[in-house]
Amino acid sequence: KISLFLISPDLSFRREIFLILPVILLLSLMTTCQEPGPAPNPFRNTTLALEIPDASCTEAWLRVSLTGDDTLSTALPVVVKRDAATVMELLLSPPDYDTLMVDQGLEPSHPYSYKAYRRNLAGTALVDSSDSATVTTMDTTSHDFTWTIDTLGDYGSYLKDVAIIDENNIWAVGDIQTDSGRYNLAKWNGVSWNLHLFGVPGVTGDGIYAFSENDVWVATGIIYHWNNGTWERYHLWDMGVLGPNDGGVTKVWGSSPEDMWFVGSGGSIVHYDGSGFTRLESGTDIPLTDVLGIRDNNGEVHVWACGSGDHNESVVLKITDQTVETIYERYVGGANSLDDETIMSPMGETLWATPSSPLLWIAGGFGIFTFNDNQAPVSYSEVIIPERAYWHPYTWKMRGNDKNDLFLAGEYGAAYHFNGKHWRWYSELRNDGLRFWCLDTSPNLSVIGGEDNSGFLTKGIVVIGRR
């Protein structure tokens, strides 16, 4: 058309061409300068997503997934960036195209932004990305506790469990023998410990869980319930709940007075639903030494139990409704062993979890470990405490308030606190004659109980720490 304009003698036609030519040139320039589109998507009609289900003071858990109806039967290369810097490269594998990872080495109380990018199948170019996901890590908590120590009883006395109702109302159970009598319950009133007896002399308290000063559950092999000023006794064999070959229950946890869980020797598990008791088949005869549950953000209750035997065998169970599933075995030879189970693999003496984390903490004779997923673990990691009382203080009890406020108690008067970034060993409590069996903790109070073997006959010992 430009050539036609140059040779045309028709002035009116030339005038029309002058009007049209700028439009033609503009359209031509726009077409020429437009950036090329992204490289062909190797997984068309799919969406790459990144979410952050949890963060601690120094870690962020990242879930990367691919959804859609056009996935291929091959792995997809993915790059994860934190604040525009690459921190991970991974392969999303079929059939789920979903993975959970941990980004470590973060700073407490610091904001971070993450984005996942997919590569083309050749791995040579980033073709698109997920939406950004942001998180602020948790702040640390204080290690600063002031400790007071009391001894209770003599002649072989000990405390096996403790429950904090409030700072002026703490209950501890065990076997407390004195010149004036034999007791199994001690109550702290804010000033002193007062001794009590439920049942008959000789009944020893092994586990306790309290909702209030009027609603307290105790496991002694059978079950006692302090219900508005009256002790109710539930003899599980006489009631037909347990059979003659079942062991008694020794530990207790509940999400509510109508949802109580009891575990004990011989792998026994008993549930109370507010109207009656039911025995659950655990699938193991290993003594169960701890039970714990959480209520997640959706209101669903998750319960776990663990235990260990005389030959270093161990088991971790997940309880959902009335079904018990083994999620970890040690030296048992079952299908749920996570690896070849070397000598330094988890021993489940005690456990702990929190609604805000996918981890499950396990501790016992061979150290402290975290399972990567509290629902279906496929791996575990050892938790290293830089300053330890001994090579690995045997942990008898572990309880916490959140991921940045966790306590351990064990042999030789060993007491440790994790503030989300660092561990603190309270060396002032160390004593080769002390065995800390139990603990309970609230945001500004921690109570540890056990026995003092430093003398000729053991005494019960209770330690109160105030932050």
Cis ω before 53 (30° cut-off from 0): no
pTM for the model stands at 0.85
Tell me what pLDDT residue 165 has.
98
pLDDT bin (cut points 50, 70, 90) of residue 36 is very low
193 vs 346, more confident: 193
196, pLDDT greater than 50: yes
410 close to 404: Cβ distance less than 8 angstroms:
no
How does DSSP classify residue 411? B
φ, ψ for residue 74, nearest 5 deg: -150, 160
pLDDT bin (cut points 50, 70, 90) of residue 336 is low
Tell me what pLDDT residue 332 has.
63
Tell the burial category of 281 from Cβ atoms under 10 Å away from its Cβ (0-12, 13-18, 19+). exposed
21, containing H or E segment: helix 11-33
7, containing H or E segment: helix 2-7
pLDDT of 360-396, one tens digit each?
999 998 889 999 999 999 889 999 888 765 555 689 9
Amino acid occupying residue 81 = K
Average the pLDDT over 249-278 and give the result: 98
**Which is it for strands 269-272 and 350-352: parallel, antiparallel or unpaired?**
unpaired
Mean pLDDT, the chain, whole residue set: 88
450 close to 437: Cβ distance less than 8 angstroms:
yes
Number of CB atoms found within 10 A of residue 255's CB: 16
108, pLDDT greater than 80: yes
pLDDT bin (cut points 50, 70, 90) of residue 246 is very high
330 close to 284: Cβ distance less than 8 angstroms:
no
Between the CA atoms of 157, 162, 167 and 168, what dihedral angle is there, to the nearest 10 degrees? -50
29, pLDDT greater than 50: no
Neighbouring C-alpha atoms within 13 Å toward the C-beta of 272: 22
Number of CB atoms found within 10 A of residue 121's CB: 15
φ, ψ for residue 284, nearest 5 deg: -145, 155
407 close to 446: Cβ distance less than 8 angstroms:
yes
Of all residues in the chain, what percent carry a pLDDT higher than 90? Answer: 71
